[in-house]
Structure 1
Amino acid sequence: MLKVQEIREIIKLVDQSSINEFTYETNGTKVSMKKAAENVVVQSQPVVQVEKEVTAVQPTQATAQPVQQEVKETVEPTAKESTVNFDHEITSPMVGTFYAAPNPESDPYVSVGSKVNKDTVVCIVEAMKLFNEIEAEVSGKIVEILVENGELVEYGQPLFRVKTK
Structure 2
Amino acid sequence: MDLDRIKTLIDAMAASDLNEMEFREDGWSLRLVRRAQPGDMVRAPVETVPSANARPRPIRAEPGVAPKREAKVAAPLFGIVHLQPAPDAPVFVSVGQAVTAGTPLCVIEAMKMFHEVRAEQDATVSAILVASGQEVEAGQELIRLA
Taking structure 1 as the reference length, the TM-score comes to: 0.50
Equivalent pairs: percent with the same residue? 34
Distance in 2, Cα, partners of 1:32 & 1:111: 28
Q: Give the structure 1 partner of residue 83 of structure 2.
A: 100
Give 1:130's match in structure 2, choosing from 97, 113, 116: 113
Aligned to 2:135: 152
Segments of 5+ residues of structure 2 without an aligned counterpart are 1-41, 50-57
> How far, CA to CA, are the matches of 1:122 and 1:111 in structure 2?
9
Partner of 1:31: 46
User: In 1, distance between residues paired with 2:73 and 2:45?
Assistant: 23
Match of 2:27 in 1: none
**One-letter code aligned to 1:98:** V
Aligned mates of 2:73, 2:100 — CA distance in 1: 12
Hey, what's the Cα distance between the residues in 1 that align with 2:95 and 2:129?
10
Q: Deviations over 1:97-125 (max 9, x none)?
A: 00000000001000001111110000000
Q: Deviations over 1:32-51 (max 9, x none)?
A: 367xxxxxxxxxxxxxxxxx
Q: Which residue number corresponds to residue 39 of structure 1?
A: none
Aligned to 1:76: none
Aligned to 1:3: none
> How far does the alpha carbon of each residue in 1:52-109 deviate from its partner, in whole angstroms, 9 at most, with x for none?
xxxxxxxxxxxxxxxxxxxxxxxxxxxx9x9894520011100000000000000100
In structure 2, the residue matched to 1:121 is 104
Distance in 2 (CA, whole Å) between partners of 1:31 and 1:98 is 18
Give 1:30 shift. Answer: 3.4
Contiguous gaps of at least 5 residues in structure 1 = 1-26, 35-79
Q: Which amino acid aligns with 1:100?
A: L
- Specify which structure has the bigger relative contact order, considering alpha-carbon pairs within 8 angstroms and separated by 6 or more residues: 2
RMSD, matched Cα: 2.9
